[in-house]
Amino acid sequence: MCYMSEQTKSDLTRRSPAEIQATVGSVKKRLVIGTLFAVIGYLLVGSALFFEFTQFHPLLDSYFSTYAEHSLAGGGPERTAGGLKDTLATIHSWPSTLLWLKLGGVAHILFGIFLALAAIVRALALMPHRLAYEMTQA
């Protein structure tokens, strides 16, 4: 036997079909927005990897083959000589861009997953109402 208080009974009011359809619509919107965030995140991470492999690594390779006697940290008067200063400035500006793309991509992916999970929880919370409506129709 199940004992329910009056508070619990009042919380179990059935929703109208229009309310159920509106909630289903909001679940679909959340899933679409979550998918968009995840796609944007994958594009950001993919572009970061693409730039890293096609531009940053060749830049490092050319630096180490051209300036074999210098480190990336540089220092001293030889650092300002010729194109070394410009090459080092270019190399040192790349990691921050790559880090932003990777972290931004991961954040978008995680937020997309969160929105999809929130939509799933909302849909599961809606199931008893839809089931009650379907049972009264039969």
Alpha-carbon distance of 72 to 60, in angstroms, equals: 9
45 in a structural domain: yes
Name residue 64's amino acid. Answer: F
Q: Is residue 82 left, alpha or beta, with left meaning phi > 0 and alpha meaning psi from -120 to 50? A: left
30 in a structural domain: no
Find the largest Cα–Cα distance for the chain: 88
Give the global pTM: 0.66
For 95, residues 6+ apart whose C-beta sits below 8 A from its C-beta are 56
97-109: pLDDT as tens digits? 888 888 999 999 9
Alpha-carbon distance of 105 to 131, in angstroms, equals: 39
29 in a structural domain: no
118-133: pLDDT as tens digits? 999 988 888 887 777 7
The count of structural domains within the chain is: 1
6 in a structural domain: no
